[in-house]
Structure 1
Amino acid sequence: MHEIGVLIEVVKSVEKFAKINNVQKIETLVLQIGELSSMIPKYMKNLYPASIEGTILEGSELKIEILPANALCKECNKVFNIVSNKGICPNCKSEKCEILSGKEFYIKEIACY
Structure 2
Amino acid sequence: MHELGIMFNVVKNVENFAKKNGITVIDTLVLQIGELSSVIPRYAKVCYPAAVEGTMLENTKLEIEILPGNCICNNCSRVFNYLEYKGICPGCESEDWELLGGREFNIKEIIAC
- Unaligned runs of 5+ residues in structure 1 are none
Any idea what SS the aligned residue of 1:90 has?
A: coil
* 2:92 matched residue in structure 1: 92
Hey, what's the Cα distance between the residues in 1 that align with 2:109 and 2:47? Answer: 19
Q: Distance in 2 between matches of 1:59 and 1:85?
A: 40
Between the aligned partners of 1:16 and 1:73, the Cα distance in structure 2 is 41
Q: Which residue of 1 aligns with 2:110?
A: 110
- Is 1:39 matched up with 2:39? yes
Q: What is the RMSD of the two structures over their aligned residues, measured on CA atoms? A: 0.7
Superposed CA deviations along residues 51-73 of structure 1, whole A, max 9, x for unmatched, are: 00011100111100000101011
Q: Give the TM-score, by structure 1 length.
A: 0.97
- Given the alignment of the two structures, is residue 4 of structure 1 paired with residue 8 of structure 2, yes or no? no
Match of 1:23 in 2: 23
CA deviation vs aligned residue, 1:10-67 (integer Å, no higher than 9, x gap): 0011001110111111110000000100000000110100000011100111100000
Gaps of 5+ in 2: none
Structure 1 residue aligned with 2:101: 101
Stretch of structure 1 that moved more, 78-87 or 49-58:
78-87
* More displaced 10-residue stretch of structure 1: 30-39 or 88-97: 88-97
Partner of 2:61 in structure 1?
Answer: 61
Q: Distance in 1 between matches of 2:85 and 2:65?
A: 20
Residue identity over aligned pairs, in percent, reads: 58
Alignment partners' CA distance in 2, 1:70 and 1:96: 13
- Deviating beyond 4 angstroms after TM superposition, the runs of 4 or more aligned structure 1 residues are none
State the distance in 2 between where 1:36 and 1:98 align. 14
> Following the alignment from structure 2 to structure 1, what is the Cα–Cα distance between the partners of residues 42 and 49?
13
